[in-house]
Amino acid sequence: MSSFGKYTHAIVREIPAAVGQKEREEGEDGTGSASGSELDAAKLHRQLGVYTGILRQKLGLQVIELPASDEPGLPHSLCVEDIAVVQGDTALLSRPWDPIRRKEVETVKCILEELKLRVYEVKDEKATLDGSDVLFTGREFFVGISKWTNLKGAEFVAAAFKDFTVSVVQVPEPHHLKSFCSMGGPNTIVVGSSEAARKAIKAMEQLTDYQYDKLSVPDDSAANCIYARVGNKSNFLVHRTAEEFPESSTAFKKLPDYTLIPSACTEVAKLGAALSSCSILINKKYEF
């Protein structure tokens, strides 16, 4: 647990040209407005620029920017978290439910190999796995069984990360597991207040032997945040802005001695994605 929340690198992907042309997504949009609202490409570029700046300047990470994938049908490729699960020096390349998104795997694989991580792949044709369905608590993994991730996909998480317990949690459409929960610290799970979120956290509590602290926020989408430790004692939390979710933003102030960093995510949310979706965070042990 001493290294939980410590990162050295972040992988992000540039925004594909296809984004914003005719992009509409039914399902979770994270804004509280009706899904299917038109995506503002210029606003998306501004928000992702701020997000990348936070990773680089506030969290001190080496940011690796993958080129945009401009193949037709890949506007979701900026949601790079779906493509890999990384813990320590081990990485598991996912097998997205959407066949066209599997084209994104190779470029991420090359970066992970360049970083000299131990890389595994989901190769079973019957398995599907999205990284947004995988929550690592520092002690164990929870894998959401959802539209995008099935039991066979979860089995690959267990095989890749043998030192940790892996438990599965049912997640209703149109959500990923991390649509309504994330880690707010080494012992704290941030969770939304919807029925789906409440059922998931109850299932997680029944599956674990450890008692986590729980920070409930009114808005599911605001429960997806990024916890990071910078230095030995500094706790940072990147979270949705007060303009987006004023009540949930206030709830984060309950966390003691945290540096709170707001980051707007309205446009990524229109792709059905969340704040953490836009990066793969890595803690690379340097070799001397």
* pLDDT per position as a tens digit, 1-26: 668 999 999 999 998 877 755 444 43
Other CB atoms within a 10 A radius of the CB of residue 81 amount to 26
Res 27: pLDDT: 40
The tokens for 224 are 């997806």
Res 37: pLDDT: 74
Res 29: pLDDT: 39
CB 268 within 8 A of CB 29: no
Closest C-alpha among 151, 147, 211, 142 to residue 182: 142
Tell me which residue has tokens 């049912």. 170
Res 16: pLDDT: 81
β partners of residue 64: 11
Res 205: pLDDT: 97
Tell me which residue has tokens 């099935």. 150
Domains and CATH numbers, the chain: 9-178+227-282 (3.75.10.10)
